[in-house]
Amino acid sequence: MFEKNYIVVEGPLGVGKTSLALLLAERIHGRTILEDAEDNPFLASFYKDPKRFAFQTQLFFILRRFQKQDQINQIDLFKRVVISDFLFDKDRIFARLNLDDREFSLYEQVFNLLKVKIAKPDLVIFLQARTDVLKERIKERDQDYEKSINLSYLNQINQAFNEFFFHYTETPLLVINASEIDFVHVPSDFDNLILEIQKMEKGTKYYVPLGSRH
């Protein structure tokens, strides 16, 4: 069904990347590698006091994401499709937003050492959505550590993701406007996404669905 053996689903907080990764894996009988952000013991403290806990939070994330990526390196991608809900490079998006200049300089050294060991995906799917949609979806999933996220910070993240993927050229990229679709609860929305993924080849493609929400 798929010629892509390593697919990454990315996007800002609340956009639905983990849900889509799980659905894709179920449809194609693939294996998931998920980042499990809630495992970060500094995350709740970061949302309450960003300046104090930013570096610890980011350092934990980059090392944990590298460990997850190392699992992919050990899988025979010719025999099994792997679906992940994070791109290693996205760690730098949050680092640039949250760290001061000295912290970011140190972070960059760690990032560059680890980056060379990361496998490139065959396809990256970037889910876009308006910030108000992200806020609503975060509220719906009701995670304690996310309750203190403010709209301004969420909007910064959203803009940073859009900017990053606007310039992204490392792998084939499928950009999906996910503001008005519900691929979890509306089968036709998910089926249409599958068709777009199947048709995806090289370069960057933008998919703007008609939408199922009114």
Give me the catalytic one of 36, 39, 76, 85. Answer: 85
Q: How far apart are CA 185 and CA 66, in angstroms?
A: 32
Residue type, 209: P
Classify strands 173-177 and 31-33 as parallel, antiparallel or unpaired.
unpaired
Spatial distance between the Cα atoms of 45 and 53, rounded to a whole number of angstroms: 7
Of 29, 7, 17, nearest to 83 by C-alpha is 7
Beta strands in the chain (DSSP E): 6-10, 31-33, 82-84, 123-128, 173-177, 204-207
Q: What is the widest separation between alpha-carbon atoms in the chain?
A: 48
Phi and psi based region of residue 134 (left: phi greater than 0; alpha: psi -120 to 50; beta: remaining): alpha
For residue 85, indicate whether it is catalytic: yes
- As a whole number of angstroms, the distance between CA 76 and CA 54 comes to 36
| Residues listed for the chain | 214
Q: Annotated catalytic sites, by residue?
A: 85
